[in-house]
Structure 1
Amino acid sequence: MSLKRGNECRDRGLFDKAVVEYKKIGVDSPLYNQAQINIKRIAQIKDNEGKRPVLNEPDFDNPNLPLLSIIMPVFNVGPYLDASIISAISQKYQNFELIIINDASTDNCSDIIGMHAAQDPRIKVVNLTHNSLGGAGIPSNIGIRIASGEYIAFIDSDDWVLPDAFSVLMGYALRENAEVVVGGFSTFTDEDRVVSEAYDALAWSDIPKERVISVENCPNLLRISPVPWRKIYKTSFLREHAIEYPEGDYFFEDNPLHWFVISKANRVVAVDKKVSYHRMAREGQTMGSANFRLAAMLCHMNTIYNFVKTADESRKDIIFPELYDYLYRSDWVIQRQGDESSAPLMKKRWSAI
């Protein structure tokens, strides 16, 4: 039924597609008048979108604002951890819990965490007795499962976030009832301290800002950096779709999480505001060998493929071409980075997709 399809498109923010569906309803149909009313409402919405005032900030000290759960996995980042925690607890948005998952660090991280937790009751600490497999996936999932907040954010424990980061992201989340809100970021290195623009700047520039979008009207969402520390996620959305990090003895878990989220989300808002500074190539960073990284990439491709097969039928025609393009670009990387000894493993992994 065109009215039903039109309403579904309208609710997802696909206004042009909704109008096309409504116009299929002929003048003799009993649904014609309702379709015309819906067309006029969409015209009003589109007209008002360009006239929205600047977001009125709520009182961010108000304890009745929705709770934000900030998840910070930690492993042997002693030189950077204090600054990262301070950036979290100094946020303008004050109604949060900071969940720190200490992944069996062997340096002074435990002392730093304990010092801050003793001073701030909003800090919750989980101490793992053994270092988990892979990267931040397992400790991040622990944080997701115990989070009490209406929204969830992540901070890398060697990065820092700007003081208004979560007030901006939460402001748009509350105004738009968003499932995901994405902000901008910059990178820097320990060696030269030079700040650089985000490595996905080109893809990011193509994303419409400060309006509700989804993969259906903005496939380029799948092309921006998959990192979670620039986003906040609605907790009920993650739990409804059973979205978590994949767990295993590999890294780059951000990639599948990003595809899981974007393939399911109906209400995404991108904000043209820098929220985070990301540290690149620090000493001791857990990246693994080149061949190990490539094997992990292929594992994740298979995981992504199996998950996006569960996407709505209306989205598969959009998502799968993007996925095949992603696979093609990844194959290009594999052919140039893999050595002869890794070729059989790569071929086996690739054929499974």
Structure 2
Amino acid sequence: MTEGNFVDYIKMHVSSGKGGQGSAHLHREKFIEKGGPDGGDGGRGGHIILRGNSNLWTLLHLKFKRHARAGHGGNGSKSRSSGADGEDVYLDVPLGTVVKDTETEEVLFEITEDHEERIVAQGGRGGLGNWHFKSSTNQTPRYAQPGEPLNESDITLELKILADVGLVGFPNAGKSTLLSVVTSAKPKIADYEFTTLKPNLGIVEYRDFQTFVMADIPGIIEGAAEGKGLGHYFLRHIERNSILLFLIPADAKDIRKQYDILLDELKRYNPEMLDKERMIAISKSDMLDEELQAELKQELDKTLPINYMFISSIAQKGIVELKDKLWKMLND
């Protein structure tokens, strides 16, 4: 998926249908001049329904759909005939979509399962026909209920990526290059910071036709948890990843310090992030000769608190071993 096609934030105005009016009809036919009430009920207004779709990865298809309006319910008629229900409007969204009230920013619900349906704007109920109101003391009621009004609101859709492995690192750490090597994704790659401004997804093909999903998250900077740069915009995509793969370049001044800063940003944004499986990949290790790598390994064995390995996307160094370790972590 290209960066330009990835849309993860949409604002919409949704409007359900109003309920149909109940009928106040009185039965009339040949030889029956004063029949009883037989007005039918009004139809229900249409709902606006969000539906999970596992085949979608982006909100791109809703980018230019700023309004969604459901159909109105039909009015009731004679012979107790109910009006037709208004047409429901279904909006398919990718799994991991969070729905918020735009005005209050309250989280209404999340869509996390395929074919899961949630009503975001409920249609008005249809009014009751006059036959519901007849009684021994009121045998010919000449009134019926009006339908309920429509419901409308402004909502915000935010996508939090559902991926097996999320790549975490500072800008220009080699995340996009790794994704391009292990998957068929074609992320934008360049030798400057913040080349990636939107997440990229790719499917990693493993042995025996097995696969897992990897997400390239835009680079994090110190202070991202407080919203510095585009911190919140980036960090929310890491919440739904099963495994966090920290990418730190071999030429970093202090690898342990970079890891601690990244971990601290995740912790301050959401402490639950620390419960996820983590692993460190020392990228761009083709710059190290055997002697330098041995010295660095000796130092890292003492300082790094979790498993790590040396890789190079350009030289294809350690890529197969990296896939093996990630697959084992996912299935353990």
Q: TM-score, normalised by structure 2?
A: 0.23
Bigger strand fraction: 2
Please state which structure has a larger fraction of its residues in helix: 1
TM-score after normalising by structure 1: 0.22
